[in-house]
Every structure is written in structure tokens, then in C-alpha cells.
């Protein structure tokens, strides 16, 4: 049957044939896009999520057209495709891991404190569910064994403990802060060569089982994993392990853990903690936990600053700029001390390790005077603690901004407190 359309001689056969080809091309294009999206890693998903949801929306509209104007076959086929696209996009979104964690809490797999910590991290890491499964001491099987008793008792703490983690309310330099990841990388650039030399000096080799306590970022964890190789294992723990989770691999696991709680089981050939115990109010208890987790012959390496040994922020520069830098540093340290920080802990570490019965105790100090990353670290530190200093009445926003400008233009060169590195063998 022929008909005229805008002066063109058309047939119903040609019209439907062209329409079918158009629909086929659309479906083939959708299949190619879907195949490509399936290969996108989680860390890059945010950049392609709008494409995935646009594809889902176009297919949802196609479902409406199929059921409204065609027959059951295309309608069912379009519905299935749209449903699969929607599930795939949703599973990669931030909502999915949080919903899975909530379902596991309701089913008794995760007690409430683990759920709360996991949901906090899931806001920042869409693929966190795999990490959360490693949060549970003894694995999920252990918690399934405790789940019935836990839910029946209605407790909101972990069996045998005082809760998931100690409160971070007093800790200033939190991993949740926007600049935390960058600051951790800068700290690594300053301290990693020093730290790695001391860990290598302890005989670190393939097959060792290591615990990086208070890991912060992934740098040291990855380096340890390379050293111990596929026959060894590295456990990284932190109150908030969102950044350390990037190091997860075949021989690396990550656990949300408070060093003042019972240590992970299994024993370790090497335990390392850097810039951790100074900020822990129950630091001596934490140190006993670390030493107690060593295997016979295992090494404990602890690195903490001793700000009281070098209370000044800088030694040179114009009088006003230097005085402002030193005044702000004194205010920062006052706030640390008020929140439970220890400003003279580093010097006590050799005696504490000896008192725990460790042998071959040794100690050295590292104090970088000039380093390209010191100015960056100083700026990032005040970006993290600035609001706290202002709220406490210890500084003004104008003073902090002036100091950051002075450092940026090279008027003053910031210093770091000496890092005391101590080691001992069980």
C-alpha cells in the first residue's frame, strides 16, 4: 500500500522496515555502551554514572512505548533489558553498599557499631562492602555464631569489647577531612624513606606477616606487601581505614580497629605504627597490645614525634612572620594536649619498650630541617585544624591566612618536630 508523505511516495512496508532498522541500531548501540560501562572500575564510576542513568531512562521510555503501541513480545523484552540496566547502575552507585550493610545488620551479620562505621566510610567509597567484610574480627563466620546471642541481648557493643572504636571526637586530624588524603601523601613523602630504611634493617623479607597499625594512607602498606611477597601478608588497621583500603590486594587486608582494643589474632613478625600513639589517650595500653601481638622473634617499630624537643615552628625569617608562626604552632600544640595528645611521648618510647620485655631496643630521631614538602604539609595542617583553633579562641582566621601566605611566599620555613623511631624484638 502506497501513501504520500510530504511529496514522497511511501509504503507501509518501507515505513515499518526503516522503523525496525532504527530500533535495531538503537539496541545495538545500547548493547555496546552497556558492555563498555561494565568494564569501568568503581573508582571511575562517578564520571560515567550520568551516561548509565541516561541509558536506563531511554530504555524505560522504550518500555512505555512497547507496551502502549506494540505487543507483549517487545514489551517483555524491553522490560527485562531496562531492569538489568537499572540493577547494574544501582549496584555501582553509592546507595548499594549502604543498603547491603543495612540488610546485613537487620539479619544479624553486623552489630550496630560495625554498621555505623561502615556506613560512614561507604559515603566516600562505593565499593566499601568488600572492605567492611574484613572489619569483623574472626570473619563473618565468627559473627554469625554470635549474632543470635547479640540480637537477643540487644547490646550495641562488640562481644568481649567496649565497642568498635574509640571516639574520634577529640582527634583533630581526621581521615574524613577533605584534605586528609593529600596530607597523608605529603607525610609519606617526608617520612617514607626514613621508615623503610628502619623496617628493612629489621630483616623484613618474603613470607613475613606484618601489621601496619594506624595505617592512614596506603603507601607503607603497599611497600610492605611488595617486600613480603605472595607468601606473606600485611594487615592494615585504622579507626577509619578509607584511604588504606586502596592498598587491598591478594596479600593485603584492611580492618577498622582501635589499637587500645584486643589486637588481631594470628601473631606478627613485624608490627609498625607511625604518628599514631601520640594521639591515643590510652597510648601505653595500646603499646602493650602491639607488643603482645608479636610472634617470638618478631619486631615492633614505633615512630612518634616529640614536639617538646623542638617547640618552635621556624627558626628564620622576619621577626613578625616568625613570631606569628611560632605562636600558631604553640596554639596548635595546646589544642593537641587539651584533646589527649602527648607532646613528650617520643622520648619515653625506648624505656617503655624495654619495660615490656623487648630485646635489642634501639632508637633514632629524624628531624627534617629543609624539605620541599614541609611548606605543603604546614598549609594542609592549618587547613585541617584552622577552624578548631578559631573556635577555641587560639587564633583568628586572618592570622592563619597570613601565616599560610608567609610560608607560601618563602618568608618563613616551617620545621617539624623530631620523629623518634624506636624498635625492639620479642
CB 274 within 8 A of CB 214: yes
Q: Which of 135, 153, 171 is the last residue of a domain?
A: 153
Is 107 in the same domain as 86?
A: no
Is 321 in the same domain as 199?
A: yes
What is the model's pLDDT at position 57? 86
Q: How far apart are CA 346 and CA 267, in angstroms?
A: 25
Rounded to two decimals, the pTM is 0.62
Is 113 in the same domain as 85?
A: no
User: Considering the domain boundaries, does residue 40 fall inside one?
Assistant: yes
Of residues 42 and 361, more confidently modeled: 361
Is 99 in the same domain as 78?
A: no
Is 325 in the same domain as 403?
A: yes
Is 77 in the same domain as 130?
A: no
Q: What is the 3-state secondary structure (H, E, C) of 11-26?
A: EHHHHHHHHHHHHHHH
Furthest-apart CA atoms within the chain: distance in Å: 100
What is the model's pLDDT at position 47? 67
Closest CA to 196 of 176, 170, 217, 223: 223
User: Considering the domain boundaries, does residue 171 fall inside one?
Assistant: no
DSSP string, 315-344: S-S-HHHHHHHHHHHHHHHHHHHHTT--TT
**362, pLDDT greater than 60:** yes
Is 112 in the same domain as 71?
A: no
Q: What's the total number of domains in the chain?
A: 3
User: Considering the domain boundaries, does residue 373 fall inside one?
Assistant: yes
Is 285 in the same domain as 412?
A: yes
What is the model's pLDDT at position 100? 54
User: Considering the domain boundaries, does residue 174 fall inside one?
Assistant: no
Is 273 in the same domain as 398?
A: yes
User: Considering the domain boundaries, does residue 170 fall inside one?
Assistant: no
Is 228 in the same domain as 309?
A: yes
Is 214 in the same domain as 84?
A: no
Q: How far apart are CA 312 and CA 154, in angstroms?
A: 51
What is the model's pLDDT at position 350? 96
Q: How many CB atoms lie within 10 A of CB 424?
A: 25
User: Considering the domain boundaries, does residue 48 fall inside one?
Assistant: yes
CB 135 within 8 A of CB 112: no
Q: What is the tens place of the pLDDT at every residue in 113-130? A: 444 444 444 444 444 444
Determine the average pLDDT of the residues in 330-347.
86
Determine the average pLDDT of the residues in 353-382.
92
CB 317 within 8 A of CB 411: yes
Angle 76-79-80 (CA atoms, 0-180°, nearest 5)? 90
Q: Which domain holds residue 69?
A: 2-92
SS3 state at 399: helix
Top-confidence range, 109-113, 161-165, 280-284: 280-284
Residue 44: pLDDT band (50, 70, 90) is: low
DSSP bridge partners of 299: 270, 425
Q: What is the mean pLDDT of the chain?
A: 79
**What are the distances in angstroms from CA 179 to CA 94, 184, 384?**
21, 9, 7
Determine the average pLDDT of the residues in 171-185.
80
Q: Which of 45, 75, 92 is the last residue of a domain?
A: 92
Is 252 in the same domain as 399?
A: yes
SS3 state at 292: helix
User: Considering the domain boundaries, does residue 60 fall inside one?
Assistant: yes
Across the chain, how many H-helices and E-strands are there? 14, 9
Q: What is the tens place of the pLDDT at every residue in 208-263? A: 999 999 999 999 999 999 999 999 999 999 988 888 888 888 899 999 999 999 99
User: Considering the domain boundaries, does residue 172 fall inside one?
Assistant: no
Determine the average pLDDT of the residues in 189-206.
96
Which CATH number fits the domain that encloses residue 261?
3.40.50.150
Amino acid at each position: 500500500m502506497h501513501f504520500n508523505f510530504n511529496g514522497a511516495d511511501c509504503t507501509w512496508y518501507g515505513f515499518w522496515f526503516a522503523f525496525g532498522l532504527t530500533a535495531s541500531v538503537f539496541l545495538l548501540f545500547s548493547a555496546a555502551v552497556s558492555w563498555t560501562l561494565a568494564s569501568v572500575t568503581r573508582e571511575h564510576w562517578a564520571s560515567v554514572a550520568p551516561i548509565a542513568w541516561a541509558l536506563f531512562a531511554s530504555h524505560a521510555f522504550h518500555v512505555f512505548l512497547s507496551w502502549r503501541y506494540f505487543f507483549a513480545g517487545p514489551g517483555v523484552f524491553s522490560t527485562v533489558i531496562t531492569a538489568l540496566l537499572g540493577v547494574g547502575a544501582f549496584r555501582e552507585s553509592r546507595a548499594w553498599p549502604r543498603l547491603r550493610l543495612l540488610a546485613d545488620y537487620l539479619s544479624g551479620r553486623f552489630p550496630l557499631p560495625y554498621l555505623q562505621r561502615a556506613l560512614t566510610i561507604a559515603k566516600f567509597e562505593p565499593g566499601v562492602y568488600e572492605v567492611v567484610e574484613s572489619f569483623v574480627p574472626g570473619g563473618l563466620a565468627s559473627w554469625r555464631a554470635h549474632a543470635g546471642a547479640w540480637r537477643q541481648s540487644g547490646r550495641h557493643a562488640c562481644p568481649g569489647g567496649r565497642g568498635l572504636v574509640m571516639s574520634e571526637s577529640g582527634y583533630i586530624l581526621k581521615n574524613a577531612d577533605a584534605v586528609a588524603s593529600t596530607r597523608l601523601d605529603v607525610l609519606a613523602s617526608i617520612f617514607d624513606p626514613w621508615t623503610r630504611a628502619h623496617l628493612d634493617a629489621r630483616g623484613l623479607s618474603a613470607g613475613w606477616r606484618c601489621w601496619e597499625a594506624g595505617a592512614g594512607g596506603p603507601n607503607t602498606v603497599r611497600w610492605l606487601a611488595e617486600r613480603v611477597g605472595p607468601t606473606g601478608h600485611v594487615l592494615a588497621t585504622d579507626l577509619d581505614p578509607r584511604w588504606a583500603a586502596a592498598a587491598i590486594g591478594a596479600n593485603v587486608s584492611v580492618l577498622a580497629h582501635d589499637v587500645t582494643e584486643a589486637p588481631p589474632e594470628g601473631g606478627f613478625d613485624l608490627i609498625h605504627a607511625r604518628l599514631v600513639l601520640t594521639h591515643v589517650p590510652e597510648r601505653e595500653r595500646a603499646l602493650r597490645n602491639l607488643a603482645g601481638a608479636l610472634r617470638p622473634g618478631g619486631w615492633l617499630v614505633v615512630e612518634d614525634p616529640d614536639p617538646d624537643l623542638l617547640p618552635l615552628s621556624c627558626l628564620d625569617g622576619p621577626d613578625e612572620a616568625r613570631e606569628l608562626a611560632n605562636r600558631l604552632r604553640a596554639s596548635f600544640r595546646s589544642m593537641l594536649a587539651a584533646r589527649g595528645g602527648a607532646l613528650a611521648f617520643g622520648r619515653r618510647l625506648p624505656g617503655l619498650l624495654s619495660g615490656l620485655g623487648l630485646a635489642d631496643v634501639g632508637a633514632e630521631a629524624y628531624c627534617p630541617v629543609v624539605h620541599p614538602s614541609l611548606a605543603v604539609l604546614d598549609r594542609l595542617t592549618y587547613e585541617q585544624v584552622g577552624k578548631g583553633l578559631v573556635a577555641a579562641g587560639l587564633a583568628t582566621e586572618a592570622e592563619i591566612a597570613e601565616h599560610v601566605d608567609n610560608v607560601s611566599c618563602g618568608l618563613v620555613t616551617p620545621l617539624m618536630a623530631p620523629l623518634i623511631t624506636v624498635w625492639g624484638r620479642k
